A = this chain, B = another copy of it.
Amino acid sequence: MGAEGHADGTVGKALDVLDMVARQGRPVRFSDLLTHSEYPKATLYRLLQTLTHQGMLVLDPDQGTYALGVRLVRLAHAAWAQSSLAPIARPYLDELAAKTGETIHLAQMDLGQVLYVDKRNAARPVEMFAQAGKVGPAYCTGVGKAMLAWATPEALEQALARQSFHRHTDQTLETPEKLRAELKAIRARGHAFDREEHERGIICCAVPILTRSGRVLGALSVTSTTARTTLAALEGQAGLTKDIAARIAAEAESWRFPEPS
């Protein structure tokens, strides 16, 4: 992993370092990062200094550890409100959750990975960050495959290059070829399934959220367990899910001109 191929320019490297800190999941010492990093000591050191000075990282002076800074949280709040589908989709997710009684996921694509931007659990209200902001693989989730199926050729190639094709279950599609074939079937069918490809016992039916011009904005899925229901039953919800997806897309498109200023 890592394999940050082409981190263009200093900015790319800095963001790379930021990711590195994020990946650790806990405050890290300089030397920890150094061992995990391909950058030489002095370079890494200066990058950390810059990021810290910029408030993207915070240095705990007591322990000499770096953690992600709160400036990120502020930026993310804006990102959430302005770029993700979550605020637009909220009422529609509620509706879909109510009508299906199943778990709902709203996802977008982030550099070949699936990013869950909102979720409904049917049972209890959303605990935002605990649920959203999480990432998952694209090649073995319903939402991931739904988005890949309608991705542009370039985006697809980029994404494929970033998939690990780890065999999570014995249903997992293990090769780019198998995935390509599946994507073709998904395009023909209009929706994607997850046949326990990521997690044993978890199935879902996912649809893409497309603009009128055919661009993928995200994906929406209805998830359940093999204990509770079947794929066929989930497919029965596909029409409703597509309908909701279309309404989200329509609103997302009309939302792009708040005020002419």
Q: Which residues of A contact B (CB under 8 A)?
A: 8-12, 14-15, 18-19, 22-23, 25-27, 32, 47, 50-51, 53-56, 58, 60-63, 65, 67-84, 86, 108-111, 115, 117, 125-129, 132-135, 211, 213, 215, 256, 258, 261
Q: Is the CB of B79 within 8 A of A134?
A: no
Task: For A71, give its contact among B8, B12, B74, B111 (CB under 8 Å).
Answer: B111
A76 with B84: in contact, given A8-B50, A50-B11, A128-B127 (CB under 8 Å)? no
* Set of chain B residues within 8 Å of A80, measured between Cβ atoms: 73, 129, 133
Is the pair A65, B256 in contact by a Cβ cutoff of 8 Å? yes
Q: A19-B75, A70-B110, A76-B79 are in contact. Are A50 and B12 (CB under 8 A)?
A: yes
A48 CB, nearest partner CB in chain B, Å: 11
Instruction: Count copies of this chain in the complex.
Output: 2
Q: Is the CB of B11 within 8 A of A51?
A: yes
A11-B47, A22-B75, A74-B133 are known; give 17 further A-B pairs, CB within 8 A. A9-B10, A15-B54, A25-B81, A27-B83, A55-B110, A58-B83, A61-B215, A62-B213, A62-B215, A67-B83, A69-B83, A70-B84, A73-B79, A74-B115, A76-B79, A77-B129, A125-B125
